[in-house]
Amino acid sequence: MDQQQDFTGLILQRLNEAEQLDSQQLSVQFGINHQTLVGYLLKLESAEYIKTQSVVSTKFILTEEGKNYFETNSPEFLVYQQVPPEGILIAELEKKLPGVYKIGFSNAMSQKLLENKKGTLFRLVQDAQDAVKLQLEQIHKGEDVTKDQLQNLKKRKLVEESKVTKFTIIKGPKYQVQFKKQLADLTPELIASGQWRNEDFKEINLKAQGKLISTGNLHPLLKARKQFIQVLLQMGFDEMPTNQFVESSFWNFDALFQPQQHPARDAHDTFFCNDPELSTPGDKELWDKVKTMHETGGAGSIGYNYNWSEHEARKNIFRTHTTAVSTKMLFIIAKEYKEKGYFPKKYFSIDRVFRNETLDATHLAEFHQVEGVVIDKNANLGTLMGIIREFFRKIGITKLWFKPTYNPYTEPSMEVYGFHPILKRKVEIGNSGIFRPEMLEPLGIPKDINVMAWGLSLERPTMIYYNVDDIRSMIGHEVEVKTVRQNPFCIFK
């Protein structure tokens, strides 16, 4: 540190004597590395003691090979040295200088340092000097050599051009001969004593990065969930209690009029539990009504015409959709209707659902389903599309298309397509429909009340929003803390 102070002072002193200085020369004069000098210059410049202007120039520097010759000797000189006045056989010389012999010999010959008399070499010049080494030394010192010499060294790849930046130094607005130490920050003592008035302070560094502070952070997907929840609350939806991952097949499938042979109920698609394997049936009357609906129909339907199995309905699974909960809510609200009479209702949930899939970049075995349900006497396909459009508009997707599709428990059913801003084409973003009377009647929903619903995954729009293409970088234990820390705000516009 003492030394540093010395140079700072020295630079200021020199500047007092001269109008301007050259950093390159200065570093040679001080006998320090140019880079070190630049450190002092930056310090003085940030304190506005000096001003610098960079000057870019080209200069020749030694290559690795050049440095090597400079530190030892050139190959031709090495060869020359090995030739005694009485001469030497070429073969013998070759043995003495393996490696450098070949190039050294040919250079020494072309420079006429040696002559070859029938296989024996003799010195042509007595007391020759290592000319190449001398030239390299000059270049290293920044001295000039002749054009021809330079050309030759370049050709031999011993020197190369390099850009150097040096600085012209002049006085700055706060120039003084004496450098006064600048303080980095205020201290309680300075504040109390008022000494701050007499001190010089280092100015803020506008180019530096701030310190990496320790932070707490919320997860990106759950930030998106918060936005979705707000949208749904604004639209008058009431959140359903969906904290039940393990469900009976009854609530997940049968009560939704999903036939027991339906492929979705296959072991290939659904996680079945082995312990507890079966659930205990609930409301007997409901189970009977559902059985009848599947087997022989009702509510104007012919049913599916098969033997419904109670055992199949009791099988426990990890729910494949949150509609299992919506169905329970309908069963509960139907009871309320009996007591209080009809009132419209909107429900939503955002929670985990499970599919028997293996994990890859675009598939998860569990994801978050966003579901909206509207119970309304006047609900119809037009209002379903209207409310879906409103929902998507609020999460920033304005262009929608509806495509007929098949769901076992809704009719009519529609897939929702939105415009993908990155892929620049329609992509499926959700599913929707009006619940079938065969589902609603056993639950006790009066015939004149329609129930419509739509669902989508939370992951898909969030991936589009954050432009993520591997879902595993977003959910699960492979997520890096850095990702969560740096994840921007989530707000849908």
Partner 1 sequence: MPKISSTRDHFFKLLGKELNEQQLEDLTFAFGIEAEEYEELENGQNVKKISFEIAANRPDLLCIESLSQALRLYIGENQGKIQYKIVQGTEKLYVKAATSQVRPYVVAAILRNVELDPNSYQSFIDFQDKLHQNYCRKRTLVSIGTHDLDTIKGPFYYNALPPQDIVFKALKQTEQLSSVQLFEKLEHDQYLKHYLHIIKNSPVYPVILDSNNVVLSLPPIINGDHSKMSHQTKNILIEVTATDHHRAQNTLLCIVNGFAQYTQAYEIETVEIIYEETGKSIITPIFNERQVVTNLKYINGILGVNITVQQSIELLKKMGINSQAIDDQQLSVTVPYYRTDILQECDIAEDIGIAYGYNNIEFKIPEAATSGGEYQLNKLSDMVREEVALCGFVECLNFVLCQNREITELLNKTENNLKVGIQNSKSDLFQCARTTLMAGILKTLKTNQRSKLPIQLFEVADVVHKGQKGNEIEGIVGAYNRRFLCAVHSDNDSSGLEIIHGLLDQLMVKLKVTQENYSLQKSTDSTFFPGLQANIVYKGQNIGIMGVIHPLVLNNIDWPFPAAMIELDVQTLLEDF
Chain residues 73-112 in contact with partner 1, contact rule CB under 8 A: none
Q: Does 346 bind partner 1 (CB under 8 A)?
A: yes
- Pairing status of strand 410-420 against strand 400-404: antiparallel
Cβ 467 to partner 1 shortest distance, Å: 19
**Total interface residues for partner 1 by CB under 8 A:** 113
* Least distance from partner 1 to the Cβ atom of residue 197, Å: 38
> From the list 283, 288, 336, 469, which residue makes contact with partner 1 (rule: CB under 8 A)?
283
Q: Is 190 in the site for partner 1 (CB under 8 A)?
A: no
User: Binding segment for partner 1 among 3-11, 143-151, 157-165, 234-242 (CB under 8 A)?
Assistant: 234-242
Is the bond preceding residue 241 a cis peptide, omega within 30 degrees?
no
Contact call for residue 451 and partner 1 (CB under 8 A): no
Dihedral angle computed from the Cα positions of residues 178, 182, 187 and 193, in that order, rounded to the nearest 10 degrees = 30
**Quick one: tokens of 195?**
């000494």
Report if residue 302 touches partner 1, rule: CB under 8 A. Answer: yes
Span from 91-99, 156-164, 169-177, 248-256 in contact with partner 1 (CB under 8 A): 248-256
Tell which one of 8, 328, 445, 471 touches partner 1 (CB under 8 A): 328
Which is nearer to partner 1, 159 or 474 (by Cβ)? 474
* CA geometry: angle 263, 269, 273, nearest 5 deg: 115
Q: Does 385 bind partner 1 (CB under 8 A)?
A: yes
Q: Which stretch binds partner 1 (CB under 8 A): 72-80, 146-154, 175-183, 356-364?
A: 356-364
Tell me if residue 209 falls in helix, strand or coil: coil
CB of 354 to partner 1, least distance (A): 7
Nearer to partner 1, 76 or 376 (CB): 376
Amino acid residing at 11: I
**Sign of dihedral through CA atoms 301, 307, 311, 312?**
negative
Residue 487's contacts (CB-CB under 8 Å, 6 or more residues apart) are 217, 220, 223, 466
CA 133 to chain centre: 52
Beta carbon of residue 380, minimum distance to partner 1 (angstroms, whole number): 4
Q: Which of 82, 152, 292, 301 binds partner 1 (CB under 8 A)?
A: 301
DSSP per-residue codes, 360-384: -SS--SEEEEEEEEEEETT--HHHH
Residue 175 or 245 having the CB closest to partner 1:
245
Coil, helix or strand at residue 195: helix
Which position among 78, 113, 240, 373 is part of the footprint of partner 1 (CB under 8 A)? 240
Which residue, 187 or 244, is less far from partner 1 as judged by CB?
244
Nearest to 227 by CA among 485, 475, 483, 465: 465
Min. distance of Cβ 31 from partner 1 in angstroms?
41
Residue among 382, 423, 467, 489 that touches partner 1 (CB under 8 A): 382
Residue 155 has a CB neighbour count (10 Å cut-off) of: 9
Find the binder of partner 1 among 34, 219, 291, 420 (CB under 8 A): 219
- Residue 237 or 253: the one with the smaller Cβ distance to partner 1 is 237
List 5, 53, 406, 491, residue binding partner 1 (CB under 8 A): 406
228 part of the interface to partner 1, by CB under 8 A:
no
Quick note: the x/- pattern for partner 1 over 254-273, rule CB under 8 A, is: -------xxx---xx--xxx
**Helix, strand, or coil (residue 481):** helix
Among 149, 142, 132, smallest CA distance to 65 is for 132
Residue with token string 């609530």:
251
Q: Does 423 bind partner 1 (CB under 8 A)?
A: no
AA identity, residue 275: D
248 in contact with partner 1 (CB under 8 A): yes
Task: List, in order, residues 6 or more apart from 234 with CB less than 8 Å away.
Answer: 394
∠ Cα 97 99 104 (to 5°): 70
Stretch that binds partner 1, among 9-17, 58-66, 115-123, 232-240 (CB under 8 A): 232-240
Q: Which phi-psi region, left, alpha or beta, contains residue 179 (left: φ > 0; alpha: ψ -120 to 50)?
A: beta
Does 359 engage in binding with partner 1 (CB under 8 A)? Answer: yes
